[in-house]
Amino acid sequence: METFTQLYNGPYSWLLYVTVMAVGGAIMFVWAAGMAVIWTYGERRIAAFIQSRLGPNRVGPWGILQPIADGIKLLAKEDVRTKVAAKLLYNMAPLLVFIGAFMPFAALPFSERWVVVNMDIGLYYILAFEAVEVIGILMAGFAPGSKWSLYGGMRLAAQMLSYEVPLGLCVMVVIILAGSLNLASIVEWQSHNAWGFKEPWILGWTIFRSPAAFLAFIMFYIGGLASTKRAPFDLPEAESELVAGYHTEYSGMRFAFFFMAEYASMYLICGLAAVIFLGGWYGPIPQPAVPEGVSLVRRWSEFVAAAGGFGSLGGWVWGSLNAWADPLNLRILAHEAIGAFNMVLKAFSLYFIMIWARWTLPRIRIDQVMHLCLKVLLPFSLLCVILALVQVAVF
Amino acid sequence: MTPAEIHSRLKEKFPSAVGEWQEPKAGDPCILLEPQELHEVCLFLKSEPGLEFDYLKLITGVDRGDKLSSVYHLYSYKHQHALVLRADVERAEPKLPSVADIWPAADWLERECFDMLGIVYQGHPDLRRILLPLDWEGYPLRKDYKQPQSYHGIKNE
Amino acid sequence: MNSTLEQPESLRTEELLVNMGPQHPSTHGVLRLLIQTDGELVRQAWPHIGFLHRCFEKIAESVTYRQVVPYTDRLDYLASMNNALAYCLAVEKLAGFEVPERASYLRIIAAELNRIASHLVFFGCYGLDMGAFTPFLYGFRERELILSILEKLSGGRLLYHYPRIGGVARDIDPQIAAEIQNFIKEMRRVWPEYNRLLSENAIFIKRTANVGVITKEAAVAYGLTGPCLRGSGVAYDLRRAHPYSLYERFDFEIPIGQGLKGTLGDCWDRYWVRLLEMLESLKIIEQALAGLPEGQITAKVPPVIKLPEGEVYVGCENPRGELGFYIISDGKPQALRIKVRAPSFSNLSITNAIVRDVLVADVVAIIGSIDIVLGEIDR
Amino acid sequence: MANKQSPLRQYFKDLWNGIITTWQGMTLTGWYLFKPKVTMRYPEEKPVIPPSHRGLHIYEENKCALCLGCVAACPVDCISIEALGKGKNRLILKFDIDYSKCLFCNLCCEACRPACLHLGPDYDLSSTTREGCVLHLARVKTEEEIEAHKKMLAAREAERKAKAEAYQKELEKEAEKEKDK
């Protein structure tokens, strides 16, 4: 286990640490916000194609600039606030929701080395921050003083909190099987020794390792749909019942925050499912092998140190150039890039299915949502946990 | 049963309330009723075996100049026959017994007649305006109705 | 619970009065529903109507009989053909005009096409009410075919003004007939897809079956007609019970609710009756096209229509139920009174009786299944 | 119906139904994902307007007999006509249709005996002002034209009057002659 502080023990270690963290954070922020940009366009296009129409095709070639136009529109929109709104809560709610959706990205990896913080309790951290969103949305439901918002908020609180339980139990199955809360080690576990193979390719994925995990994956996905408020569980913002649910009274950028948060947390659920059930960056495209325990940043810093250290410009430039020319570095880069591609491919496939389902299925009623959670998902996920325990104990 | 047969049967039962049979020159025949006994007649029509008018199609208020009339279109699913009743009331005091307790369908239909012509159906559970705003003045479908010049500051033209 | 625990005074629960509409996504226009809710439970709902009142009946007293026809198009704007047909039949009955057979056949073709179009809108909107967006677009995709056929036939896409007093406005040509045949084929192909997508969907059934049950007795008592009545199991269709405009010549069935997925008279039954009716309408159109007689398309009608003194009521089976026109004439070129029996008006009046102790989502399901058009409720 | 089965069986049946019908729906929408689309890119591709379409009016001024049949037939009084003279000697100064009122019902065109008014294929009707909704279908006449027409009318009127007077005089003369006799 390595952290960035151990990377370089020179006088500039803190600088390196801060820089790397800031760059990583910025990349993840852009990625999280980019989800809304990519997938509003994607969703509208997919929805249109499903519905035998063309979808956005005006702004830019094939309409790909549509999300940017939407963003500008939202920025330019008047910020309307109801008279009776509780100001502090009203203003805070979108931010809190966005924070709740964005923070977990810190622990969500692209690939083995491309992760902002590789936490030992990554899984726990992600699930915990998912729950922060609930508070924000409850505030959003309560603050504007609109009855429809209140309904949306209350529905969401009931729905998200109850679905946390089966969601957690499904994750528990993976934890039991893999024996770790660390996302990297869960993927590591998936890439070795399954069904008698040393390199099992996709057979090593959690869902293929145990029937319990397969079932848990499906239930995790359904629970994920519910906790990201996606159809058929989009009751908190059911437009035909509650107008727009908890964000009825929000406009402009405040609404955009909710919007981005929704799309970001969808990626979160899909990404998490991809990591813990579908092998993360491992497979289907095989990665070139690299030795254990090497790190791009460390190797780069070694190259810089060899070329004159961080104190001199020559060290920076020559070191970086030498690092680029090094075959092992390129190999690691390819390894990471292919891993990231695998990861994003899986997450986006799951994302696509979410959208596909949304444009197919009718909405479930609130009591049926609870029925599904408490009477279907909960017992079955408990069953999965027991099965997983038996599997671990016996085999 | 034809309307004429129904009329004779009604006449037998309610000699004072039911008007004389008139063969129409064109269109549908219509049975004239005394407004006071309208409720009893309707109850009879609904419950009497052989008649059983269970479906109230329509209640129409008509301004005939000197009198306002309320016209009832009835139908029986069982016997597949229809009937038109008409009760005329004085313009000055347009009061009629409500039939909303016999046919729940009459609830809204009577409210509409009240709204448009000002016929008051006594015994109606909730006689309010239905199409127009509650504070509207006058009854628009009366022939002597004058269009207001403005409504809450919204000018006409 | 411990009875000694006192509730603090500041803590209290109350029932919420919520305005659903007039601007609400699922009130199909400008219906305002005042709902009294206890949490997610709706205790009662009071419909408030009149936001779209256009004084049709007052206007009809001041224009000539011929000029009323375009106004009738605007009553139930999803089924203009059927409205105008009902009105023309009423005038013709009182005046004693003989409509040529060809005109009657053309009217039936147009009216049945319009019925399918109207039911397609219902299908789509009901899917939308239930949260499924795609059926809406699929329904409108097929409706578009009908609209383009009717546009070729009558010149309008929504408000046709096609049936006229004494006949119809335009004759059909072979190209339109071929297009109608194509449409029938296409409709028969996509109809099972609708079921695959929505009717048989488990979520949809869960949402609609056993919800908003209207018993036979209640349906009759509140004067419900059309699919709402047939959904409750009463096999009453004016086209069969009192055939008008040569409907007696056609062979078709009257689908009624059977409680297939839940209770008799629930939302799913009403929905299913409408879907089956589309197939029956296709049958009628096929037969009408096959047996279309030659001849005139309009009767000899004087330039100024004066009806004899008297009154007439003619009811027609509209997509939404019995649309009746009650015309009282005093011999002048204008009517003394034209009263519309709007099917949606009576159908909606049952709302308060069936929306009791249901969930908010069910209110949407129930209102949607009644399939109201505010244009004819408010007139 | 549902009561006949045991709750457990019903539970699993519901579950199974849910999975199967969801699968059915998803395959259908998935299939349509790759099918050709039905909508068109409107301003680039325009729909074919059938000849029967009832759009904006087409008015043939030279054919108009000024019979005012259209005005009488219109249910909403959206046509307003102003003209100098009558019959053959008319000069139509104004033929306005208020499209904020027009129903596109075709009654005016049917009432038009010389068949000079039609509903054409133009469907682009938008306007941002009330005034913009009123279309002036008659050719705009110049001042001179109006003056000339007025003069012409006056001349004709004078001619007619002169003729009438002459006729009257003749009548009187004849009457006098008869008296004389």
Domain that holds residue B144: 3-155
Beta strands in chain B (DSSP E): 31-33, 55-63, 67-75, 82-90, 95-97, 120-122, 150-151, 154-155
Nearest CA in chain D to C160: D105
> Quick one: D131 and D65 in the same domain?
yes
pLDDT at A277 (0 to 100): 87
> How many structural domains compose chain B?
1
pLDDT at D1 (0 to 100): 45
Q: Do B57 and C322 touch (CB under 8 A)?
A: yes
pLDDT in tens, A203-228: 778 888 888 888 888 889 888 888 88
Which tokens is C215 given? 């018993």
- Res. A244: pLDDT tops 80: no
The more confidently predicted of residues C41 and A312 is C41
How close, in Å, is residue C281 to chain A by CA atoms? 25
Which tokens is A42 given? 């994607």
Nearest CA in chain C to A241: C361
Report the C-alpha gap between B121 and B134 in whole angstroms: 17
pLDDT at A6 (0 to 100): 47
Nearest CA in chain D to C157: D53
Report the C-alpha gap between A78 and A80 in whole angstroms: 6
> Quick one: D99 and D133 in the same domain?
yes
- Res. A2: pLDDT tops 60: no
Report the C-alpha gap between C131 and C118 in whole angstroms: 20
For residue C11, the SS3 value is: coil
- Mean pLDDT for all residues in chain B: 85
Q: Do C18 and A232 touch (CB under 8 A)?
A: no
> Quick one: D75 and D116 in the same domain?
yes
pLDDT at A371 (0 to 100): 85
> How many structural domains compose chain D?
2
D22 touches chain C (CB under 8 A): yes
How close, in Å, is residue D64 to chain C by CA atoms? 20
End-to-end CA distance of chain A: 28
> Which residue among C16, C198, C206 sits closest to A368, beta carbon to beta carbon?
C206
* Partners of A102 in beta bridges: none
pLDDT at A13 (0 to 100): 66
> Quick one: D152 and D134 in the same domain?
no
Domain membership flag for residue D151: yes
Torsion (CA) C154, C156, C158, C164 in degrees, nearest 10: -50
Pick the residue of D35, D39, D42, D44 with the most A CBs within 10 A to test the interface with A by mutation: D39
Which tokens is A292 given? 């254990």
Q: Do D32 and A51 touch (CB under 8 A)?
A: yes
User: Which residues in chain B have Cβ-Cβ distances shorter than 8 Å to C65?
Assistant: none
pLDDT at D2 (0 to 100): 46
> How many structural domains compose chain C?
1
pLDDT at C184 (0 to 100): 92
User: Which residues in chain D have Cβ-Cβ distances shorter than 8 Å to A371?
Assistant: none
C207 touches chain A (CB under 8 A): yes
Nearest to C99 by CA among C317, C286, C252, C314: C314
Pick the residue of C87, C160, C203 with the most D CBs within 10 A to test the interface with D by mutation: C203
Domain membership flag for residue C5: no
| pLDDT, average across residues D118-123 | 83
**Which residues of chain A are at the D interface, by a Cβ-Cβ cutoff of 8 Å?**
46, 48-54, 57, 356-357, 359-361, 375-376
Torsion (CA) A208, A210, A211, A215 in degrees, nearest 10: -80
Block mean pLDDT (10 aa), chain C, length 379: 56 78 76 85 87 87 88 88 90 87 89 91 88 87 89 86 86 88 91 88 87 87 88 87 86 86 86 90 90 85 82 89 89 87 89 86 87 86
pLDDT at A10 (0 to 100): 59
Which tokens is A51 given? 């519905």
Which tokens is B72 given? 């009832």
Domain membership flag for residue C181: yes
Which tokens is B24 given? 């129409």
Domain membership flag for residue D46: no
> Which residue among C141, C151, C262 sits closest to D38, beta carbon to beta carbon?
C141
Which tokens is A118 given? 């590789």
Pick the residue of D10, D12, D15, D26 with the most A CBs within 10 A to test the interface with A by mutation: D26
pLDDT in tens, D23-53: 888 888 888 888 888 888 888 888 888 888 8
pLDDT in tens, D67-113: 888 888 888 888 888 877 776 677 788 888 888 888 888 888 888 88
> Quick one: D134 and D61 in the same domain?
yes
- Residue indicated by tokens 């020794």: A193
How close, in Å, is residue A364 to chain C by CA atoms? 6
> Residue B126: which H helix or E strand, with range?
none
> Which residue among C55, C326, C336 sits closest to B58, beta carbon to beta carbon?
C326
Q: List chains adjacent to chain B, taking adjacency as at least 3 C-beta pairs closer than 8 Å.
A: C
pLDDT at A62 (0 to 100): 84
- Res. D139: pLDDT tops 60: yes
- Confidence class of residue A131 from pLDDT cuts 50, 70 and 90? confident
Would you list the DSSP string of C237-305?
-HHHHS--TTGGGS---------SSSSTTSHHHHHHHHHHHHHHHHHHHHHHHHT---S-SB----SS-
Domain membership flag for residue D179: no
User: Which residues in chain D have Cβ-Cβ distances shorter than 8 Å to A57?
Assistant: 41
pLDDT at A11 (0 to 100): 62
D106 touches chain C (CB under 8 A): yes
* Partners of C328 in beta bridges: C311, C337
pLDDT in tens, A88-127: 888 888 888 888 888 888 888 887 777 777 778 888 888 8
How close, in Å, is residue C194 to chain D by CA atoms? 9
pTM: 0.87
Q: Could you tell me which residues come within 8 angstroms of residue A392 by beta carbon, excluding any fewer than 6 positions away? A: A176, A177
Which tokens is A65 given? 């600039």
How close, in Å, is residue D23 to chain A by CA atoms? 10
Asked whether C69 and C270 are in contact (CB, 8 A), the reply is no
pLDDT in tens, C341-361: 889 888 888 888 888 888 888
Q: Do B57 and C341 touch (CB under 8 A)?
A: yes
Report the C-alpha gap between C18 and C46 in whole angstroms: 11
Pick the residue of B32, B42, B60 with the most C CBs within 10 A to test the interface with C by mutation: B60
For residue B156, the SS3 value is: coil
Q: Could you tell me which residues come within 8 angstroms of residue D169 by beta carbon, excluding any fewer than 6 positions away? A: none
Would you list the DSSP string of A49-118?
HHTTS----SSSGGGTTHHHHHHHHHHHS-----TT--HHHHHHHHHHHHHHHHGGGGT--SSSS--S--
* Partners of D155 in beta bridges: none
- Res. A163: pLDDT tops 60: yes
For residue C37, the SS3 value is: strand
- Confidence class of residue A310 from pLDDT cuts 50, 70 and 90? low
> Which residue among A53, A57, A360 sits closest to D29, beta carbon to beta carbon?
A360
Pick the residue of C200, C203, C261 with the most A CBs within 10 A to test the interface with A by mutation: C203
pLDDT in tens, B41-62: 888 888 888 888 888 888 988 8
Question: Nearest-5° angle of CA C161, CA C168, CA C311?
Answer: 80
> Quick one: D62 and D102 in the same domain?
yes
Which phi and psi (to 5°) does residue A232 adopt? -85, 15
- Res. A4: pLDDT tops 50: no
D118 touches chain C (CB under 8 A): no
Domain membership flag for residue C47: no
> Quick one: D92 and D114 in the same domain?
yes
pLDDT at C116 (0 to 100): 92
Q: Do C202 and D17 touch (CB under 8 A)?
A: yes
pLDDT at C12 (0 to 100): 67
Q: Is the peptide bond before A362 cis (omega within 30 degrees of 0)?
A: no
The more confidently predicted of residues C15 and A72 is A72
| pLDDT, average across residues A129-143 | 84
CATH number at residue B93: 3.30.460.80
B64-73 long-range contacts (CB < 8 A, ≥24 apart) are: B64/B88, B64/C336, B65/B143, B66/B91, B67/B91, B68/B94, B68/B117, B68/B118, B68/B119, B68/B142, B70/B96, B70/B113, B70/B119, B71/B30, B71/C311, B71/C326, B72/B42, B72/B99, B73/C313, B73/C324, B73/C326, B73/C341
Domain membership flag for residue C254: yes
- Res. A395: pLDDT tops 80: no
- Confidence class of residue A9 from pLDDT cuts 50, 70 and 90? low
The more confidently predicted of residues B156 and C171 is C171
pLDDT at D4 (0 to 100): 62
Report the C-alpha gap between A162 and A35 in whole angstroms: 26
Q: Do A151 and C40 touch (CB under 8 A)?
A: yes
Report the C-alpha gap between A231 and B98 in whole angstroms: 49
> Quick one: D111 and D163 in the same domain?
no
**Considering just the CA atoms, what is the radius of gyration of chain C in Å?**
22
Domain that holds residue D112: 57-141
Over the range A26-36, which residues count as b (16 or more CB within 10 Å of their CB) and which as e? eebeebbbbbb
| pLDDT, average across residues A39-46 | 88
Domain that holds residue C287: 59-358
Q: Do C128 and A240 touch (CB under 8 A)?
A: yes
Number of neighbours of residue A71 by Cβ within 10 angstroms: 18
Nearest to A199 by CA among A188, A210, A207: A188
C349 touches chain B (CB under 8 A): yes
Q: Do C25 and A239 touch (CB under 8 A)?
A: yes
